[in-house]
Amino acid sequence: MATEVQSVSRALRQAYGFDDVALAPAALNIDPADVSLSMNLGPYELRTPVLASAMDAVVDPSFAIGFGKLGGLAVLNLEGLQTRFENAGHALEEVAEASQEEATAVLQRLYTEPIKGHLVEARISEIKRAGQLAAASVTPQAAENLSTMAIEAGVDILVVQSTVATARFESSTGRALDLAGFCKRSPVPVLAGNCVGYQAATELFECGIAGLLVGVGPGSACTSRQVLGVGVPQITATLDVAQARDDYLARTGRYVPIVTDGGMRLGSDVAKAVAAGADAVMIGSPLAQTREAPGRGFHWGMATGHAELPRGVRIEVGVTCSLQQLLFGPSTRSDGTRNLVGALRLAMSMCGAHNIREMHNAELIVAPAVKTEGKLYQMAAGM
């Protein structure tokens, strides 16, 4: 007897990225000096709502210290080169010197070096000795083991991060991380990521996480969207997760900050992410361009060195400015790639937002022509 198959009617919905929308100015303008950019992750306050991505080309202990002094939070990858090699600089130099054809193979080889427990402790201790918050990233598979070492070394914030994070995971071959139990046992706040949907975000909030990273595949060095076809443009992803956060707050009284992770290159992108509901942003490739970054003018994603299916590529971003200039200026460039924090502050003042939470109420409009309207001469000049 043939099985009857019922047809399912499905409709595609429109999704928006940073270039598809614009901020509408409010009837109230505020002096930029009166705008507060501070936000909280667990018990900690960040003066600058920017996190540095847990990527080897972006964060080493020295960068984390400098970034912390500027008010942000840099996340160290505990499964990266810093915990595999005593002298990570030699490994980073090898990556930088590889040809484009050789780069992925070099990364795959370097990431087969075992992680060393004493280096986990040493890298975190270096950040702590400088008086800065230490944040560290682990994958769900390594979370139990590496988090114990990190906590003993004094880590302040743990980030459990994978390409797609969910509270539910089915497997016939292995045991998944019990995220709710992990959060309950952890003596430090736990951020999780990455997520792009309402239901998944709600279930992650219910696990007791202290923050949620938003974004699948938007980073410049990530090829997950190309290789797997999986991802949601960042404005829509942030709006969906922010709605889940607000509904969870109304139901429980607990506010869980969300962090838009990846895809931002301009100050306007940062401002739009916050308007869509982000409490902070996480960036990678712009920071990899700074003189303080360890990547030597190159950048690559965490999955670039995957042994079987790399989902990233080494890209050359160059060394173009200091960390101070990128975040706070001064800048002689008018393309929005410098003074990202200053741009956020000014956009908030124009949108009538005294603080990050008020910026969530700013009006976003669908405006695909916002960058080209009236800009004929700029476009002709390649701007």
Judging by beta carbons within 10 Å of its beta carbon (0-12, 13-18, 19+), is residue 17 exposed, middle or buried? middle
Does 381 reside within a domain? no
**Mean pLDDT for the stretch of residues 227-242:** 90
120: its two tokens: 């986990």
Residue pLDDT, tens place only, 269-282: 999 999 999 999 99
CATH at residue 99: 3.20.20.70
- Quick one: pLDDT band at residue 95, thresholds 50, 70, 90? very high
Chain mean pLDDT for the chain: 91
d(CA 189, CA 46): 14
**Mean pLDDT for the stretch of residues 72-96:** 97
Name the strand (E) or helix (H) holding 249: helix 234-252
Please tell me the predicted confidence (pLDDT) of residue 164.
75
Does 7 reside within a domain? no
Residue pLDDT, tens place only, 23-44: 999 999 999 999 999 999 999 9
Least confident of 55-59, 117-121, 281-285, 309-313: 309-313
Does 61 reside within a domain? yes
d(CA 267, CA 286): 11
27: its two tokens: 């009837």
Q: Is 169 a residue whose pLDDT tops 80?
A: no
Q: Is 163 a residue whose pLDDT tops 60?
A: yes
Closest alpha carbon to 254 in 210, 189, 214? 210
Q: Is 1 a residue whose pLDDT tops 50?
A: no
Q: Say which residue, 93 or 168, is predicted with more confidence.
A: 93
pTM: 0.92
Please tell me the predicted confidence (pLDDT) of residue 75.
98
Name the strand (E) or helix (H) holding 212: strand 211-214
Does 379 reside within a domain? no
Residue pLDDT, tens place only, 188-212: 999 998 999 999 999 999 999 999 9
339: left (phi over 0), alpha (psi -120 to 50) or beta: left
**Mean pLDDT for the stretch of residues 115-130:** 97
**Mean pLDDT for the stretch of residues 292-317:** 83
Which domain covers residue 229, as residue numbers?
18-369
- Please give the share of the chain, as a percent, with pLDDT higher than 90: 78
**Mean pLDDT for the stretch of residues 171-196:** 88
Does 383 reside within a domain? no
**Mean pLDDT for the stretch of residues 145-166:** 92
Query: Are the CB atoms for 41 and 257 separated by under 8 Å?
Result: yes
**Mean pLDDT for the stretch of residues 294-317:** 82
> Each residue of 160-187: b (16+ CB within 10 Å) or e?
bbbbbbbbeeeeeeeeebbbeebbeebe
Please tell me the predicted confidence (pLDDT) of residue 6.
57
| Total tally of structural domains belonging to the chain | 1
**Mean pLDDT for the stretch of residues 214-226:** 75
Query: Are the CB atoms for 354 and 367 separated by under 8 Å?
Result: no
Least confident of 149-158, 220-229, 335-344, 360-369: 220-229
First to last CA, the chain: 65
Query: Are the CB atoms for 41 and 73 separated by under 8 Å?
Result: yes
Q: Which residues contact 176 (CB under 8 A, 6 or more apart)?
A: 140, 169, 170
In the chain, the amino acid numbered 104 is T
**Mean pLDDT for the stretch of residues 162-185:** 81
Q: Say which residue, 19 or 174, is predicted with more confidence.
A: 19
Whole-number CA gyration radius for the chain: 21
- Decide the pairing of beta strands 135-138 and 157-161: parallel
